[in-house]
A and B are shown apart, each in its own frame.
Chain A
């Protein structure tokens, strides 16, 4: 069902996010692939293990973009940013809390100390100005009465990566 009132309400709440896409992380290398896209792709890949809704993923990508515009990040902490953004989005949006997701390398060794995760979350919160509630593309789709099935969600994932 196409819900016009809900759509206008959504676009009223949807603020334009001022993101600068000229940062080094957004500019592609010789093959035209940029670090940020690789990170988002990696997060999407990791998120397939959980059966979470597509909105969680969209929120996580918004958090990552906001953080990248706010702080300079060392390349070795990019994965930490990705996983922190994803666990914050799932804490905000999902019914069952999964808590923090801890990363391990191929040999079962922890990649980052526990303390680092907490610091990352606090930094992420500050960069987001403590505002986690954003309007995402899937909200519009639901308001337009489109049921989100597998092909739609893979389409959204494709949009997120670009």
Chain B
């Protein structure tokens, strides 16, 4: 009789142990899950050479975020654009620059978690807006670019697609191509329509001026509601720039600019500096 009781006790203990172990496993599973599945991917937003961007939801705070996943190539390890983007974004804390919430590693792949906004400047300009909103956007973009230049960083990829708009306030994104100023840099950066003449002529000792050129193009685009130079190749782009900007008072000959305020034209003129172009032409 007694033996039976002991036996039953043993089996009971065994069963309890097993259940406890199962509970422990389940708890561990969910603990690890909260790390790995903290962000649920909703849809793919964009794709580039660096990797894929997803719209995702944070399970803990139910916030919508953007997840940027980097491809890991065999020979390179962590890609250089990821290294630069993380280091640079961590140093920038400004209301008009995208905030890097965290960086996580899921399945040995590096993911950046950032705020999500659904409208960029190109889409924003398709609708009509009040003039003071547009002025505010231009002003805030200039402030943000001044902020990054003060920290010796060049963005190198300024274009309307990389400026998001939320509540009529601009936010600069995509620092994948940006880097710290150094004496020697690659000329193949920035989208063609916004590329400065020094880049088009394959110069590798440029500085902050290339960002200012892109800004000039963007400001002109906000004012005219269409891109200023729409080249199809590097040579075509240079020709377009040369045709539109000839001489110091180029905007007087161009009917597009007739309706604009003089001060505004001055601003564009300062950004689209002619100094370098004159060197090429001569």
Contacts and interface: CB of A to CB of B under 8 A. Distances in A.
Nearest to B90: A131
A97 interface: yes
Contacts of A131: 86-87, 90-91
A133 B150 contact: no
Interface in B73-87: 73-80, 83-84, 86-87
Contacts of B88: 133
A54 to B, nearest CB: 11
A53 B184 CA distance: 10
A91 B80 contact: yes
B202 interface: no
Interface in A3-17: 9, 13
A99 B87 contact: no
B76 A100 contact: yes
Given A88-B83, A95-B204, A100 B75 contact: yes
Given A99-B77, A117-B77, A91 B83 contact: yes
A93 B204 CA distance: 15
A97 B72 CA distance: 14
A91 to B, nearest CB: 4
Interface in A37-83: 53, 55
Given A93-B182, A95-B204, A131-B90, A114 B83 contact: no
B76 A99 contact: yes
B78 A121 contact: yes
A97 B80 contact: yes
Interface string A92-128: 1101110110000000000000100110011001000
B87 A130 contact: yes
A92 B77 contact: no
A97 B76 CA distance: 9
Nearest to B76: A99
A34 to B, nearest CB: 28
22 contacts: A55-B182, A87-B77, A88-B77, A92-B84, A97-B76, A99-B77, A100-B77, A114-B74, A117-B77, A118-B72, A118-B77, A118-B108, A122-B110, A125-B78, A125-B83, A130-B86, A130-B103, A131-B90, A131-B91, A132-B84, A132-B86, A133-B87
Interface of A: 9, 13, 53, 55, 87-88, 91-93, 95-97, 99-100, 114, 117-118, 121-122, 125, 130-133
Given A88-B77, A92-B80, A97-B80, 17 more contacts: A53-B182, A88-B78, A91-B76, A92-B84, A95-B185, A95-B186, A96-B186, A99-B73, A99-B75, A100-B75, A100-B76, A114-B74, A125-B83, A131-B87, A132-B87, A133-B87, A133-B180
